Amino acid sequence: MYVKWITLQVNDMEASKNFYGQFLGLKEQREFSPAPGKTICFLGDDRGMQIELICDDQAKGEAHPSAANIGVCTDHYDDMYQKSKECGILLSEPMVMGGNLHCFFVSDPDGTKLQIIQNE
């Protein structure tokens, strides 16, 4: 069993696509509109990780950041740390958790927290 995707309700589809595309390097896989004023976009990586973004004009302003966070492992930890500082999305300085787990936290455009984890 594995997680196929994580779904996030977003207020601004373009801002969210830019964040997940440019910051995390996910590529847009498909985008469609199942109903007027509602857009769904899937972004993913080569390993199968996907994030589903849903923007609904009738629910604008109702997207709330999750109490959970999304953990993302990267080979480009130092570069992502610098980029997060430059983009003003850094929530915490790098820390060591659980022995040898190096990480820091950032925020997406709607306030969802992402934990950036150094790949060992």
Residues in Cβ contact with 39 at an 8 Å cutoff, skipping those fewer than 6 apart: 13, 31, 32, 33, 54, 55, 56
Residue 80 is predicted with a pLDDT of 94
| Reported pTM | 0.87
Residue 61 is predicted with a pLDDT of 67
Judged on CB neighbours under 10 Å (0-12, 13-18, 19+), 51 is: buried
Question: Distance between CA 26 and CA 108 in Å, rounded?
Answer: 14
Residue 1 is predicted with a pLDDT of 75
Averaged pLDDT, groups of 10, the chain, 120 residues long? 87 95 94 94 93 87 72 92 94 90 93 90
